[in-house]
Every structure is written in C-alpha cells, then in structure tokens.
A and B are shown apart, each in its own frame.
Chain A
Amino acid sequence: MTETPIPPKGRGPLARREARLAWGLLAPTIISVSLVVILPLLAIFWISFKPIGLADLRPPSLSVNEQLRDADEAEPYIRYRVRNTSQDIALSSARFSDSFPEGVEPGAVPEGCTYAARTLTCDLGEVEAGGRSEIRVPILADDPEAMEDPLEDSEPEVVVKAPNILTNFEFSLENFARVFDGGEFWSVLWVTLVYTVFGTIGALVMGLFAAMLLNKSFRGQGILRGLYLFPYVAPVIAVAFTWVTLFDPFSGSANALLIQMGVTEEAINFFGQRPLALIMVIIFEIWRYFPLSFLFILARMQSIDTDMYEAADMDGASPFQKFWYLSLPQLLGILSVLFLLRFIWTFNKFDDIFLLTGGNAGTRTLTVNVYEQAFAISNIGAGAAVAVVIFGCLIAFSVVFFKWISREEGL
C-alpha cells in the first residue's frame, strides 16, 4: 500500500511572497487613490451635514492696526485698532503682542495688558462677530516723531482661537432640508433623468447607425472612422463653445441659415429658452458621444462570424431580416453594457451642460446643481448635500450594473 501524497495545506512560502509582492506593487496606487477618492468621498458626507458657506473657507481673523498719534504734542500715544474680520463668527482668547523699539517705553500699561522684555501683550478675551475696539497706550520717548517709523514697522503678532466649522462637531440636517424642500429639486431630478435617458439612447442608436455604415471595407473607411471620432476626441471647451457660437441667436450661422431657408421667421434662441435648451443639450450629448458607441459596436460587429450570414443568404434572408435576427442579437451584449456605462456617465456629466447653458433655461441637472449651490449661491454645505444625493444614485446604479455586467461578457 502506497501512501497517497497529500497536497500541502494553506499557502506556501512562494504564494505568500507573491501576494506580498502584489500588494507592494499595488500600494502606491491604493494610497494615492484613497487619498484623492476615498477621503474626499468621506469628506463630502461630513460637509453635507454642516452649515458651511464659501466664506467660511477663509478663517476669521483679528486685524490689528497700529498707529502713533499726537507725536508732535505733549501726550503722544499709540493707538491699536482691533477688528474681528468676520461678521458672524466670534473669536475667543484673542491676544496680540507688539514689540517696542529702543528708546520708547509705554507711559502706562492699559488694563488687560502687560509689558515685559520690551514687548506689550494685550489680552482681549472674547471678540464678538464684527466687533471693534481701540486700545491707547501713552508713550514716553525723547523724540516721538523720530520713533514713528520704527514703532509702526513692527507688526503686532496676533493669536486667536476661532472655531473652525470644518473640524468642529456641529451638524445639522439643514442642507438636506433645503435641497429636498424646494420644489426645484424634483424638477432638477426630472431634467437629469430626461437628459440621461435620451442622451444615452440617442448616442447608442446613432452609434449603431454609424457602425453599420462603416462595417464594410472600402477606400477611405479609415478616414471616415477617424473623422467620426472627432467630436469625442476634441476638447469639450472647444466643441461646446463652437456650438454656442453656431447657435447664437444674434450672430449664429444656424439661425442665419434657417432664416434664409425660410424655416423660421426670426432668430431662435436655441440655448436660452425652455424646452428647446434641454433638447439642444441632449442633441449635443448625442453628437459628442455617438463616436464612442460607434467604436465599440463596430469592434463587436467585425468579430461576428461571417459564416452565419452566408448561411442566411442561402436560406434567402433579406437584408433587414439578417440585421434583425442575426446582427442585433449578437450586439445585444455590447449594447446593454454600453447602455449601462453611458447611463452612469451621462448622469454624472457636468462640463457639457455647464459650458453650453450654465444650467439656465431648464437644463439644470444634479451635477450642475452642485456647482450652483456651492459657488453661485456660495453654500458649500448645500452643494455637498446634492453631491451626496448623486453619490447615492450612483451606488444604486452600480448595484444594477454589477448584477448585469457579471452576466455579460467583455467588461
């Protein structure tokens, strides 16, 4: 009886070394991506619960203005003007210190101040929001007028404690209440969905059409393929501004052409009126992204076995039948993958609409709303709340996506 060899249990030293190497190779990526993706994602949740405006990013400070007064009179004095630069945040433990040059001594030290080692230190305690005060220190000097420059040149040093809205533990649901409360939110969500659904489907259908055009070899096929990719490859600023110029109501060529052809009597404000603006933005989306669907669909088409078509020809199938019963089922996989990916990407799209209409005339989508809230209305907290909503939608899509994608080949 021979002993059957037993495979070693667990992972051997080699496997462990390989895993170590793998994590080593991945470490830089993991660290950098978590720093710039995971951390901000956590931060956006944190911020969305905070009442924070754009102005809060500049921390409040105490401005101290020092001046020598009455230098040519009997009782010269230094006047410190203190001001809280913030209009709504109080400062605590405010203190400043100022050093005196040689030859000058304070005549009397005001209350709350101390003088030691040629340095005057004044404790101000609490300074209310927008609060100002003045401190006068009479000075003794042989020639006060000559001391003006040395005195004023030494900048007072300020120490304050300001509550930092970003790091404290003050939370509120106000941002979410504000976002969901206005009837505007639902219209924004509606616009986003319309834009996403029509943009995605349009780009897919156009891509399918273009792919069928180029799915035969002829001279110049390469050139046409390159040409049809232009809208996607060109920078978004270039094409968006071109569209705005082309459809300008006053000096746009499109309007001039339409008027000349007798389609319309007067100029149409393509990007400035509802619901035309939304339609235009969707058309732009389709125009810009059909190349991508076309590229993918073409790649899939060219890998379909031609035998099948020959067999169908023998059976007398007509061209449309071949497309409907043979090509389309073969393309269904890539079409559904493209649909899901494009759906998510279109939902997340910001630049295009922002550059075309700035979110005006009924084209404000969720992403544009983030920017509007945070920078136009200067309410970062509200912007973050919208971003959280977007992220929530994204998670929901991703669940669907991975359910589907695992069934589909390719990606």
Chain B
Amino acid sequence: MWRGYLTAPVLGALWMLVVATTVAVGFSFATGEAFRPSVGLCLLWGVVVGLSAVMRLGSVSMLGAVIGLAGVTLAGVGPMVIGADVGGLAEWLSALVLGASFAVSFWGIVAGLKPGVLTRHEFEEAVIRFLTGFGYIFFTAIVVIPFYVMVMTSLKNQQALLQNPLDFSIELSRGWDLLRSYVELFGQYDFGRYLWTSFYISCLTVFITLLFSVPGAYAVARLRFVGRAAFSRSILLIYMVPMIVLALPIYIAFSQMGLRNTVFGIVLIYPVTTIPVALYMLQGYFRGLPAEVEEAGLMDGLSRLAVIWKITLPLALPALASVSLYVFMIAWNEFLLAFMLLDDPSKFTLTRAVTSLNSSEVPRQHLMAGAVIATVPIMVLFLGLEKFMTKGLTAGSVKG
C-alpha cells in the first residue's frame, strides 16, 4: 500500500465512487431525470486516472482528465450512467461537472504522491485528504438533502409528487401558484394565529425563565449558604428527569383543574422545564465574572440586589442573550406537552398545528410547508445570532 502506484489507484477508485454518486444524486434531485453511478466503471476509471496521475503517464494533466472523463461519460461508458431520455443540456452539464469536480479534487488528494515508496507521512496525509473530502461531501449531503426536500416538496403539487418523487425542479411557469401551500396554510388553516401563539408563548417562557433563574443562578454562583453544592447537583439531576415521566401527572392534574387546553397552562409549564437549564448555564457565566467589581459596588454602599441589577446583569448581557435564545428555541420546538395538553385548534402552538397536518386527508406539500414555517423563524434567529446560539448550546449542555 505504501507505494504511490498502489495508493493512488485505490484512492482514485474510491474517490470516483464518491464523486460519481454525489453528482448523480445531485443531478437526480435537481432535474428528476435518471442519473446513476456505475460501480464497475467507477472503479475502472478511478484506477486509470489514479495511476496515470501519479505515474505522470504521457501528457496526462488535470485538464486532460476533465475532458477525458466527460467524454467517456457522454459516450455512455463513464463512471456515471445517464438515462436515455435525459436532454442535451443536462447531459452535457452533468458530464462536465463530473469530470471537473473529480479531476480538481483528486489532483488535490494525490498532490505530493510519487510512484515509488511513500513515507508513512505522505501515505497518511493522502488518506486524510481523501477522508476530509469525503467528510465534507457526506456531512453536507446528509444535512442539506432533508432540508432541500422539505422546501421543495412544499412547492410541488400532489400530482407532480406522486408522478416523480425525484423531480424537485421548480416549475417557474406556475409563478405565484408555487406558494399555494403557504397561501392555503395561512388562509384556510389559520397558521398566522399559530405562528403568533408560538411566538408569544416562547417570549413569555423566556421572560419568566430569566425572572426566576437570574436570581437563583446568582445565589448559587456567588452567595455562600449551607447546601449550595447539593443544590447545584440537584439542578443537574432535575434537568435529566424525562418529560414523559412528568407528562402523565401533569396531564391528570391539568385535566382536573381545567388547565388543559389553555395557553395559560402551557405558559405555566414551559418555564419550569427550562428554568433548571437556564439556572445551570447562568451560574456558570456568573462564576466567570470577576467578583472584585461586585465587591467594589458593595463597598460603595449598594445593596446586593442593586449590585445584581446595576453591575452583574449588564456584564452578563451576552450570557443572557445566549440563554434567552436557547430557551426560546426549546419553547418554540416543544412538542410533547403541546401535543398532550392542547386539543382545541384555536389554542394550538405551531408544532401542535403542524402535527395535526399529518393525516391522510391533508396533502404532503401542506405538511412540508407547515414544517418550513416552523423551521424558518428559528433558523433566521439562529443564523443571525449564531455566535450567541453556539455559546448557548455548548453551555446549555446536552439537553434533549
């Protein structure tokens, strides 16, 4: 293996499989036409290109590989098989993309490999370059494909979906009709109201959570009292109690007290599920703040509460932002309690409303449009405030 003329063809064959599959899947999803990798030809062409690249055979260059691969693909004996009824442009484009993406990336992978004996370094680095390339493609694909399918399905109509589930090309000729599922969700299914309900429930949850957890976290982080260590452990413990265990008694109690089917009941219960998390995150942040500033404040005659309000909180503002975002996300995405406690469509949260779309009577594209509506706000928030969000996530540890 540690010889260049062995390593390069093996990597070439594997990489050809990866690239051909990626391009085939990509073009299938984009056009709905038949593209597929051919395993045998992938291995063959991978070995050929790999060998010639590392042995510097004849005048083989990157450009040569691009043209060659595109050529054999168009001729029908390349690593990717193109369906018979694929039109001209897509056919040419896919062959070119395959050739170019393989050649460019593969020349990167085998850079520095020589035909003879390789050092362990050279060999491992080539393998790592291969794995890195594979990793980027793999992770990007598994993350992007579901979200792509979600958005594109919401823009199709039932008939087109059943006809060719692979065809995600956008029919621009439909114009505004593309957004029909969304228009219907907001018009007939009252999604505007659910969006609003979810929004204000989440905001209230954030507010109440902060109201309770800021003083609590400060006490745990700064003040000395008997049972402090035990308390900080029990926070962790509480936040491991599964919701499904609590859900039954809560369901019973809410049924008996008439709190089921009320937004009030939901607002009552959501913060309690987030307070332990928030408390745990915030006490970590508060510990990181310099105590001297607060002590100076105390010396100057401020009371403890005034110190918290005037010194600690302004200093912890970024932390508060992270915690708020994280809590907002938990409340916005919450499903179980909303599902169990809300039956009345006029009080649904967004997640509960989307769940109710999951029936055989509602077409799939409506369900996907609902999913998009539930996802977009949290994604916008996430991308806009990524720095705070990642901080919140890491500090918020591994909940749910």
Please report which residues of chain A, range 28-68, place their CB below 8 angstroms from some CB of chain B when the two chains form the complex. 28-29, 32-33, 35-37, 39-41, 43-44, 47, 57
Shortest B168–chain A CB gap in Å is: 8
Shortest A300–chain B CB gap in Å is: 10
Tell me whether B241 and A37 are in contact (CB under 8 A).
yes
Tell me whether B216 and A28 are in contact (CB under 8 A).
yes
A33 to B253, CA, bound (A): 15
Tell me whether B219 and A21 are in contact (CB under 8 A).
yes
Stretch in A149-157, A169-177, A227-235 touching the partner: A227-235
Tell me whether B215 and A28 are in contact (CB under 8 A).
yes
Tell me whether A29 and B279 are in contact (CB under 8 A).
yes
A243 to B358, CA, bound (A): 13
Which residue among A209, A260, A394, A411 has the maximum number of chain B CB atoms within 10 Å of its CB? A260
A210 within 8 A of partner (CB):
yes
- Known contacts: A213-B135, A245-B153, A350-B336. The answer to whether A252 contacts B165 by CB under 8 A is yes
Total contacts A-B at CB 8 Å: 273
B162 within 8 A of partner (CB):
yes
Shortest B304–chain A CB gap in Å is: 6
Please report which residues of chain B, range 255-300, place their CB below 8 angstroms from some CB of chain A when the two chains form the complex. 255-256, 268-269, 271-273, 275-276, 279
A72 within 8 A of partner (CB):
no
Residues of B in contact (CB 8 Å), total: 105
Tell me whether B213 and A260 are in contact (CB under 8 A).
no
* Cβ-neighbour of B250 out of A40, A225, A347 (below 8 A): A40
CB-defined contacts of A402 to chain B, threshold 8 Å: 233
CB-defined contacts of B29 to chain A, threshold 8 Å: 253, 257
A255 within 8 A of partner (CB):
yes
Shortest B365–chain A CB gap in Å is: 9
A122 within 8 A of partner (CB):
no
B8 within 8 A of partner (CB):
no
CB-defined contacts of B398 to chain A, threshold 8 Å: 292, 296, 338, 341-342, 345
CB-defined contacts of A41 to chain B, threshold 8 Å: 241, 245-246, 249
Stretch in A85-93, A180-188, A366-374 touching the partner: A366-374
A398 to B236, CA, bound (A): 10
Stretch in A112-120, A269-277, A379-387 touching the partner: A379-387
CB-defined contacts of B172 to chain A, threshold 8 Å: none
Tell me whether A29 and B212 are in contact (CB under 8 A).
yes
B36 within 8 A of partner (CB):
yes
Please report which residues of chain A, range 238-253, place their CB below 8 angstroms from some CB of chain B when the two chains form the complex. 238-239, 241-243, 245-246, 248, 250-253
Shortest A229–chain B CB gap in Å is: 7
Tell me whether B149 and A245 are in contact (CB under 8 A).
yes
A184 to B125, CA, bound (A): 51
A250 to B268, CA, bound (A): 42
B34 within 8 A of partner (CB):
yes
- Known contacts: A319-B125, A345-B399, A394-B242. The answer to whether A251 contacts B161 by CB under 8 A is yes
Apart from the given pairs A22-B220, A253-B29, A387-B248, 5 other A-B contacts in the complex at a CB distance below 8 Å:
A26-B216, A29-B215, A40-B249, A235-B374, A394-B245
Query: What are 21 of the A-B contact pairs (CB < 8 Å)?
Result: A18-B224, A23-B219, A26-B215, A26-B220, A28-B212, A37-B241, A40-B246, A57-B252, A210-B139, A224-B136, A235-B354, A237-B333, A238-B372, A245-B149, A252-B165, A256-B165, A296-B394, A341-B398, A344-B240, A348-B243, A380-B252
- Which A positions have Cβ atoms within 8 angstroms of B? 15, 18-19, 21-23, 25-26, 28-29, 32-33, 35-37, 39-41, 43-44, 47, 57, 166, 209-210, 212-213, 222, 224-239, 241-243, 245-246, 248, 250-253, 255-257, 260-262, 287, 292, 295-296, 299, 318-320, 338, 341-342, 344-345, 347-348, 350-351, 355, 367, 370-371, 374, 380, 383-384, 387, 390-391, 394, 398, 402, 411
Q: Which 4 A-B pairs have the closest CB atoms?
A: A348-B242, A40-B249, A238-B371, A25-B215
